[in-house]
């Protein structure tokens, strides 16, 4: 069977790899491809058993050749030693909070304020997407590789929860710009970690079966899962993410929020499929 990645995904034998290093690199690309299809696009191409065989082959080769292990390998999502505490980290740029609007009058006032801040008579378009009830996080990438993740905290400083965020399979450990160019030297991606309802139900069923206290709601459970001192516990929770913006970006210029979402999606990040662009405030 040939997957859309253009490589033999079932035979387990590469037709082009001439060394272990080549095979490891090939397997990483194949596994990353299928993880993206499953966890980001919700459109798997191969069975779970076929994926497991590919993943297990990669893991076995890396164990036999530890010098070939890379931090962005899909096998390295779980494995950090349990932490005794979370250190505070400074966000590259402040993470603001949302303004709440409950009626049309409030929406129009907000739109007027936006126009005043822009100080322009040019037409203004608006982007809307559902608010996810989860926990806001900042993801920092250097040269396309995920190096740090933190909670929102007070907006200026948050808690470093990198090992736990690495376990969230819809977060890319490495991304590639959609135009094939070099990744920005540093990129800060903003998103919301949340508990899919099906995963939340499974966790509570497991906790109840073990005689433990169940989680009151998905939002609190997502926040608590991010603050586990042992990342293997977080990995069991099956958290997911929607990304919605960019904080600091070095070497990347995007002109609008809609362009930001389109770029993130094309780069392999999971954006909300219900996001919409509105040409006027009346259509919001």
**CA atoms of 219 and 225, how far apart (whole Å):** 10
**CA atoms of 64 and 150, how far apart (whole Å):** 33
**CA atoms of 18 and 15, how far apart (whole Å):** 9
DSSP secondary structure of the chain: -B-TTSSBSSS---SS--SHHHHHHHHHHHHHHHHIIIIISS---S-HHHHHHHHHHHHHHHHH-GGG--TTSGGGSS-PPPPSSPPEEE-SS--PPPPP--SHHHHHHHHHHHHHHHT--S---EEE-PPP-SEEEEEEEETTEEEEEEE-TTSSEEEB-HHHHTT-TTS-SB---TTS-PPPSEEEEEEEEE--HHHHHHHHHHHHHTTPPPPS-HHHHHHHHHT-SSHHHHHHT--EEEEEEEEEEES----SHHHHHHHHHHTT--B-TT-EEESSGGG-
Active-site residue 88, yes or no? no
Q: 109, 131, 169, 212: which is the annotated catalytic residue?
A: 131
> Which residues carry out catalysis?
131
């Amino acid at each position: 069977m040939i997957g859309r990645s253009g490589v033999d995904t079932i035979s387990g034998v590469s037709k082009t790899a001439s060394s272990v290093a080549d095979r490891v690199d090939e397997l990483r690309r194949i596994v990353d491809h299928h993880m993206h299809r499953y966890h980001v696009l919700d459109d798997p191409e191969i069975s779970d058993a076929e994926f497991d065989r590919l993943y297990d082959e990669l893991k076995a080769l890396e164990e036999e050749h530890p010098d070939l292990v890379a931090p962005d390998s899909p096998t390295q999502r779980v494995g950090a030693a349990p932490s005794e505490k979370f250190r505070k980290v400074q966000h590259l740029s402040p993470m603001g909070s949302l303004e709440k609007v409950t009626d049309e009058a409030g929406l129009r006032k907000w739109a007027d304020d936006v126009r005043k801040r822009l100080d322009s008579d040019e037409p203004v378009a608006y982007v809307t997407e559902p608010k996810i009830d989860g926990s806001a996080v900042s993801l920092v990438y250097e040269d396309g590789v995920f190096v740090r993740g933190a909670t929102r905290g007070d907006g200026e400083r948050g808690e470093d929860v990198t090992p736990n965020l690495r376990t969230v399979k819809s977060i890319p450990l490495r991304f590639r710009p959609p135009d094939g160019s070099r990744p920005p030297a540093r990129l800060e991606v903003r998103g919301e970690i949340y508990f899919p309802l099906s995963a939340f139900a499974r966790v509570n069923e497991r906790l109840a079966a073990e005689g433990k206290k169940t989680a009151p709601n998905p939002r609190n459970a997502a926040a608590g899962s991010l603050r586990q001192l042992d990342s293997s516990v977080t990995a069991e929770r099956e958290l997911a993410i929607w990304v919605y913006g960019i904080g600091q970006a070095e070497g990347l210029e995007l002109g609008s929020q809609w362009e930001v979402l389109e770029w993130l999606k094309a780069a392999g990040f999971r954006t909300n499929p219900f996001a919409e662009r509105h040409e006027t405030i009346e259509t919001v």
